[in-house]
Chains A and B, each alone.
Chain A
Amino acid sequence: TQLLEQSPQFLSIQEGENLTVYCNSSSVFSSLQWYRQEPGEGPVLLVTVVTGGEVKKLKRLTFQFGDARKDSSLHITAAQPGDTGLYLCAGAWGQNFVFGPGTRLSVLP
C-alpha cells in the first residue's frame, strides 16, 4: 500500500497546453516535496511546501499544499517539451522521505 498516490500515472499533451497532476494521501505530512526526474538521472527538487494551504509559484509551475496537509497539486501553464519527465511527490515521514509512484509527463512539440 502506497502512502502517497499520484494521478494521473501517465499524461501526454501538446506543447502550450495546461495540466495539473495530483499527489494524495490519507496521512498528514509535515511537508511535501516535488521532484522532476529525467531518464538516466536522479530526481531534482522543484519545491518544498510546509504550510497547509500554501501556494508556491516557480515560473510556469504552481504548487499547492492542501489545507489538511494530506494532498498537493502541481499545475503547469503552457507546457513545453522541456517539461517532459517523471514528476514525483515526496512526504516527510519519520526521519526520511516516502515517494509517490510518479506521473510520467510527455509534452509533444
Chain B
Amino acid sequence: GAGVSQSPSNKVTEKGKDVELRCDPISGHTALYWYRQSLGQGLEFLIYFQGNSAPDKSGLPSDRFSAERTGGSVSTLTIQRTQQEDSAVYLCASSLVGGLNEKLFFGSGTQLSVL
C-alpha cells in the first residue's frame, strides 16, 4: 500500500478482555516498530522487528503484551487481560532496512480505550 495501515482505528474494550491490533507496513520495508503514546505524552518503544532476526522485545511493559510478524510483513500486537492503564494510542512504523538514520513511516495509530 501507499502507507502504513493500522486497524482498527479505534477500539473500546472492557477490562480483562484480550485485544489484537494490526499493522500493515509499507510493502518492501523490512523493519517494523510498535510504539505506545499516552495522552499528551511522547512515544514509548514497545517492540522492533528486523527481517528474520529475533525481535527486540525490550520495551514490552509486561508479559500480557506480545507481538508477532508473519511472513515479514503484517504484524499483530496482542494485549491480554487488558487493564485501564493500557489505554493509549498504539502506533506502528516501518522503515526500509532498519538502520539508525532511516526514516520511520508511521501509521495513524489505534486508539485503545479500556473501560
Question: Interface residue tally of chain A, by bracket?
Answer: 20 to 34
Do B41 and A101 touch (CB < 8 A)? yes
Given A40-B108, A42-B109, A44-B106, do A99 and B43 touch, yes or no (CB 8 Å)? yes
Does chain A have a CB within 8 A of B42?
A: yes
Do A95 and B43 touch (CB < 8 A)? no
Given A92-B100, A92-B101, A95-B56, do A42 and B106 touch, yes or no (CB 8 Å)? yes
Interface string of A23-49 (1 = CB under 8 A from B): 000000011010000001111110010
Chain A residue nearest to B106 in the complex (CB):
A42
Chain A residue nearest to B102 in the complex (CB):
A48
Neighbour of A88 across the interface among B43, B59, B93, B105, CB < 8 A? B43
Chain A residue nearest to B56 in the complex (CB):
A95
Taking CB atoms, residues of chain B closer than 8 Å to A98 are 45
CB within 8 Å of A: which residues of B?
4, 33, 35, 40-45, 48, 50, 56, 58-59, 91, 93, 98, 100-101, 103-109
CB within 8 Å of B: which residues of A?
2, 4, 6, 30-31, 33, 40-45, 48, 50, 88, 90, 92, 94-102, 104
Q: List 19 A-B contacts (CB under 8 A).
A: A4-B42, A33-B104, A42-B91, A42-B107, A43-B43, A43-B91, A43-B104, A43-B106, A45-B104, A45-B105, A90-B43, A94-B56, A94-B58, A95-B56, A96-B48, A97-B33, A99-B35, A99-B42, A99-B43
